[in-house]
Chain A
Amino acid sequence: MNKSAPVVEIRDLHKHFAGIEVLRGINLNVERGQTVSVLGSSGSGKSTMLRCINWLEVPDGGEIYIGGDRMGVKSGGVKPMSNRELSAMRARTAMVFQSFNLWPHLTVLQNVTEAPVHVMGVSRKDANDHAIALLEKVGLSHKHDAYPWSLSGGQRQRVAIARALAMNPEVILFDEPTSALDPELVGEVLAVMRSLAEDGFTMVIVTHEMEFARAVSNEVVFIEKGQIIERAAPEKFFTNSDSERVRQFLGRYRTTSA
């Protein structure tokens, strides 16, 4: 890990599915402690970009660096990483999914300790202590022994955030974390994410929550047809974007949500 390198660096990222170009040359740096929101209409490629960062999708071109280290490709830059190397790289990132993807056969506490104990080799006791502190942080310390099935969507997503934090990741990738939630449950998840931003966690957030992106991000990125067409500080992005397309997107959002 290189302390001065960006936590995430994306260089000329390309990806296509069945001949359709989904990403067409994405370049993006995320510095330590930054919160970057990624906006764009559905199908613009923003989730795919996020999933390329931790190699859930293997890019067709371009490079990804996590803390200065190349993701998915061995040093030398040609051969793909072995599963073991990939696992070690992925463990430096963490992801929060739209549909939570908690492991239903494990309790809340076990969901949070599973990867630290069985992937990172943390002792059971340390992992438990850490998990208990994290569940406290997301406001679910009373739910240790519950199974995910019995929780509300907002609670599940907060467990998923605790599970991600338990990896001590360099960056947390959020893939539309509130899109599957009832409107009244969105707030509790956003509150947790806001506190993470204040604590200085590095986060990349794909979202449709405009107000949240505006209030919490250091930078807002707008993706359209697989390319970043605007990248600005939130105030500028939301009030005075240079991009006609962004102004149009925001205008439509305002009229539909007003």
Chain B
Amino acid sequence: MNGIKMLWDNLDVFSVGLQNTLILFCVSAVFSFLLACFIAFLLEGRDNIPRRFVRGGLDLMRMLPFLIFLYLLYYGLPNVGISMDVWSAGFIALITYHGAYFAEILRAARTSLPSGQAEAACAHGFINSKMYWRILLPQMVMRSGPLFGNQLVCLLKDTAFLSIITLMDLTAAASAVQAKYFVPLPPFIFVIVLYWSITLCVEALLRRLGRRAQKRGLVNE
């Protein structure tokens, strides 16, 4: 059977998969970023016991393979009486897991911020959350553009794991089509191209962030 025709006949399957992957990716990207901003805010200030716990949590999360984390949420939690559908498990897994990575990127950016920035804010009466959200975070984000791009691509690729817990994403769509005809190459190549296109869009978006940073002299590229 002709590969193109195979794809054409199953366009509806792919379009559902693409849609679900995009929803997973976009929602998780936004919320994991917000979560990371919030975590980085919690880490502001002197080292103390609660902050050590937060940092420990981040380390724990980053050391866990994503698939195991997903299994824990979806197959493990029902054992202790918490069950959820695939979408909830998928969102929670992607958002917390990549939130930890984003937080780590922000933490590094915070460390490399010149100490005079917070000092000047302090001297002008800024405290706590206003100092963080208005003075520090914008600079941390603008300085981390390329790293965000990298992490977003990882996030996109990790959405594919959700096909294992039966979420009908792009990878699941490809599996379904290849299982129907036992011809693996065309469907998989097709979804690779789709994943790649999403990546290109992400990079285009980040270039705009990069231009904002460049205009402010925050990156040296």
Contacts and interface: CB of A to CB of B under 8 A. Distances in A.
Interface of A: 54, 56, 83-84, 86-88, 90-91, 93-95, 97, 99-105, 114-115, 118-120, 147-150, 163-164, 167, 173
Nearest to B118: A101
A114 B124 CA distance: 9
Given A118-B130, A149-B216, A103 B135 contact: yes
Contacts of B139: 103-105
Contacts of B216: 104-105, 147-149
B127 A118 contact: no
Interface string B115-127: 0110111111111
A191 to B, nearest CB: 23
Contacts of B138: 105
Interface of B: 114, 116-117, 119-128, 130, 134-135, 138-139, 142, 215-218
Nearest to B126: A119
A99 B116 contact: yes
Nearest to A85: B127
Given A104-B218, A167-B124, 8 more contacts: A90-B125, A91-B125, A94-B124, A97-B116, A101-B120, A102-B120, A115-B125, A118-B130
A56 B123 CA distance: 7
B126 A105 contact: no
Contacts of B127: 83-84, 86-87
A110 to B, nearest CB: 10
A255 B28 CA distance: 66
Contact of A101 (B119, B125, B142): B119
Given A105-B218, A147-B216, A119 B117 contact: no
B62 to A, nearest CB: 28
A21 B215 CA distance: 44
B114 A101 contact: yes
A94 B123 contact: yes
Given A56-B119, A99-B116, A104-B139, A150 B217 contact: yes
18 contacts: A56-B122, A56-B123, A83-B128, A87-B127, A91-B125, A95-B120, A97-B119, A102-B120, A103-B120, A104-B217, A105-B139, A114-B134, A115-B126, A119-B125, A147-B215, A148-B216, A148-B217, A150-B217
Nearest to B218: A104
Contacts of B135: 103, 114
Nearest to B128: A83
Closest 4 CB pairs of A and B: A149-B217, A91-B125, A101-B120, A101-B116
Nearest to A119: B125
A115 B122 CA distance: 10
A99 B116 CA distance: 8
Contacts of A114: 124, 134-135
A119 B119 contact: no
B208 to A, nearest CB: 15
Contacts of B114: 99, 101
Contact of B125 (A102, A104, A167): A167
A136 to B, nearest CB: 21
A118 B120 contact: no
B34 to A, nearest CB: 19
A73 to B, nearest CB: 17
A102 B139 CA distance: 12
B217 A147 contact: yes
A97 B120 contact: yes
Nearest to B133: A118
B126 A118 contact: yes
Nearest to B215: A147
Contacts of B125: 87-88, 90-91, 115, 119-120, 167
A101 B139 CA distance: 13
Contacts of A56: 119, 122-123
A166 to B, nearest CB: 9
B102 to A, nearest CB: 19
Contacts of A147: 215-217
Contacts of B128: 83
Contacts of B130: 118-119
A115 B215 CA distance: 23
Contacts of B142: 105
